[in-house]
Structure 1
C-alpha cells in the first residue's frame, strides 16, 4: 500500500482522492518550479542575443540545459533509489535557484552556458522525482489522468503563466530583472517541496537497494526489448517536436518579425493557454481509449502548426500558429510520461525513468538546436517546414509501431461491456 494514495490496496481509491492526496507533495511544487522555467522560454534567447553571437550559438545556449539533464538523468534515477523523494526534489530546486539568479549579472556567453548546464542537472532531479512519485503512487487505470494533471500543471505554469508574467513584468522591468523574478519562483518551489513532503520518508525506494550508479545501469537490458526500443524512438521524436515548438516561436518572432520580449511572451502564452485547456481531455482519453489516442493526434497537430509558422508574415498569423501548436501539445499532455511509467519495471522504476528521460532529452536537445541551425542555413521559414514534416513522421511512427500500454482490469472490462 502506498501511504499517500492507497495504491496497491485491495480496495483501490478513486482518481479524485489520489489527485487530492498528491496535491501538496506533488503538484504544488511542480507548479512553482515550472513558472520559473517558463519565464526563461521567451527571455533566454534575447539575453544570449546581447552577446552578438549567431543564431546557432543562441540555439546552443537555449539547448545546453538539455545536456545537463541528459548527463544527470541516470544519476538522478539512482539517487531516487537511495534517498527520499523529498530530499532529491529540494536539492534539485536549490540547484535551479542557484543557477537562475546569476543570469541577472552574467556578462559572458560562456557564463550563461555553464549556468544553464548545471541548471539542467537540477531540473533532471526535480522532474524525475515528480514522475517517480506519480508512478509509485497511482495505479495503472488512473495513471493517465493523474499524469495528465501533472502535465497540465507544468503546461499552465511553464507555457502560459511563465511567458505571461514575462509579458506583464516586461512592460516595466528590464530583461535582466526578469531573471530575478524567475529565481524567486524557484525559491518558493524549494520551500514548497521541503515542507510539502515533510515526513514522507516512505517515498524512498527500498525494494531493490542500489549502492552505486553502475548497479542501476542493469535496467539497460529492458531497453533491448523490441517494444521498449520502439517506444523509446517515439519518446525521442516526441520530445524533439515539443522542444522545436518552444524554440521556433521566439526565434521566428524575434528574428523574422522583429517582435520584442513582451509581444513574444504574449504569443507564447496564448499557445500555453490552449495547451492547458486540453490536458483534462488528454487524461480521460489515455485512461479510456489508450495512450496512442493522445500521442498520434498530438504529433499531427503540432506538425501542422509548424507549417503555419513557416507562412506567418504578421504577428497575428504567428499567434494563430502558436495556438495550433499549443492545442497539439495539449492533446499529448502526459502521454510520453505515462508511456514510460507503464513500461517501467516495478522494482526499478526510478532507474528506468532516468534512462527514459535521457532518451527524451536527447530528442529535446536536438529539437532545441536545429531551429537555430536552420535559421543560419536555410532560413526560419524553410526550417519550420522541415520541423513540420518531422512532427508528422513522429505521429506516423507511433501509430504504426508503438504498442498500446493501457491494460484494463477485469472489473473495468466487465463494466465497459
Structure 2
C-alpha cells in the first residue's frame, strides 16, 4: 500500500510508473492520425472510416469492467505487461491487415489494451503514493500520457516517409514493447486484506450497489467531463474549417492548444493536493464551458486561437482530476472493480459527447452543437462544485 509521506520520493517510482505511460501514449499518438487513412486504403467509405476511428473508444468502453477483474486477479504489473503485449499484437494486426474486418479487429483490440493499461497504472499509483501526493502523481500520469500522444504523430510521420502508413504502426509496436519491458521493473505492492477470500471478495455488482450514491453524484460529473473533453477534440478543427482556415493554420492552432494543455498539469496537481480537488476540477470545467460558448462568436484565426488556448489551459489544469477523484473514492477492498466502473462512466461520456455534437450539428447547426457542449461543461462544473468536498479527502 501507500508509503509513508515522510519517506516517499517520486524518484523511486518515476521510471517504472511514468515511463510506460509516456511510451504507451507515444505508441497511440503515432497511429491515431492514420487510422482513418488506413481504413480508406482498405476500401472503406468516409463514413465507415470515421466509424473505424471510434473503435478504439468502443474497445476501451467495453473493456473497462473486464480490465478491473483482470487487474484484481493478476495485479498491476502483470496487467500492464499483458496490455502492452495485447497492444503489440493488435498494432501488428493493423499493419499487415489484408482487409477491413481484420483491421477493425486490430483497432478494437488497441482500445481494449488501453483500458487494461490505464486502469492498472491508475490503481498502481493510487496504492503506491501517499494521499498527500496523490493528485500530483495522477496529474503527472495524465500529463506524461498526453506528452506521449503529442510526440507520437511526429515520430510516426517520420516512419511513414520510409515505410508508408505501416510505419506508424511499427513505431507503435516498438513503443508498447519498450513500455511493457519497463513495466517489468515496477516493484510489487503489498496489498492489505489478503484474507478477503474468507469473507467474500468484492464483485463489480457489489461495488456498484454499495457505492451507488457516489456513482450517481460525482460519477455523473465525471461522465459530463468525459463528454466535454472528447467533444473539444472535434470542435476545434470543425470550427476552423467553417471559418475557412487552411489545414496548416488549423494544425498550428490545435498544436498550440495542446502545448498549453501539457504545461500546467503538475502545478494543478499540487493545488489539488494542498487545497482540495474542487479548486481545480470546477475551474477546469468552467473555463472549458465558457471557451466553447465563446467559440461560435469567433470570426477569424486570432479569435479562434485565443479560445483554443483557453480550452487547452482549462483541459490542462484538469489533467488527472478524474483519476484522482476515482482514487479518492475507491475502497481499499474492491478498488479495481470501483475504478473499472469509474472509467466506464468517463469513457461513456467520451463516447456520448461527440455523438451528441454530431447529432445537434446535423439537425440544427455546428454553432448550436458547440454551444450545447459548452453548456455541458458548465453543468459538469456545477455538479462537481456541489458534490466534491472543499478539502482533500482522506483515504477510504
* CA 1:310–1:91: 2 relative to 1, 3 Å: farther
Question: 2:238 aligned with 1:248, yes or no?
Answer: no
The answer as to whether partners of 1:42 and 1:250 remain within 8 angstroms in 2 is no
| Residue of structure 2 aligned with 1:218, choices 189, 206, 209 | 206
1:271 aligned partner: 257
Q: Bigger CA drift: 314-323 or 112-121? A: 314-323
The answer as to whether partners of 1:42 and 1:264 remain within 8 angstroms in 2 is no
Question: 2:394 aligned with 1:388, yes or no?
Answer: no
Q: Which runs of 5+ in 2 are unaligned?
A: none
Matches within 5 A, 1:223-234: 223-224=211-212, 226-234=213-221
Query: C-alpha distance in 2, partners of 1:178/1:210?
Result: 49
Query: C-alpha distance in 2, partners of 1:376/1:250?
Result: 16
Query: Deviation digits for residues 48-82 of structure 1, max 9, x if unmatched?
Result: 6774334xx66543333222112211111111111
Query: C-alpha distance in 2, partners of 1:41/1:371?
Result: 21
1:97 aligned partner: 88
TM-score normalised over the length of structure 2: 0.86
* CA 1:108–1:30: 2 relative to 1, 3 Å: same
* CA 1:230–1:136: 2 relative to 1, 3 Å: same
Question: 2:75 aligned with 1:81, yes or no?
Answer: no
* CA 1:62–1:259: 2 relative to 1, 3 Å: farther
Matches within 5 A, 1:6-405: 7-9=2-4, 12-14=6-8, 17=9, 19-45=10-36, 51-54=44-47, 60-104=51-95, 112-158=103-149, 160-163=150-153, 165=155, 169=158, 173=161, 177=164, 180-198=167-185, 200-202=187-189, 207=194, 215-224=203-212, 226-253=213-240, 257=244, 259-260=246-247, 264-404=250-390
Matched residues, number: 392
Q: Bigger CA drift: 362-371 or 109-118? A: 109-118
Query: C-alpha distance in 1, partners of 2:49/2:96?
Result: 18
SS of the residue 1:86 aligns to: helix
The answer as to whether partners of 2:256 and 2:309 remain within 8 angstroms in 1 is yes
The answer as to whether partners of 1:296 and 1:395 remain within 8 angstroms in 2 is yes
Query: C-alpha distance in 2, partners of 1:325/1:377?
Result: 25
* CA 1:132–1:289: 2 relative to 1, 3 Å: same
Query: Deviation digits for residues 301-348 of structure 1, max 9, x if unmatched?
Result: 111232344345545544433322211111111111100000000122
The answer as to whether partners of 1:84 and 1:204 remain within 8 angstroms in 2 is no
Report the CA distance between 1:147 and its aligned residue: 1.1
TM-score normalised over the length of structure 1: 0.82
Query: C-alpha distance in 2, partners of 1:106/1:316?
Result: 42
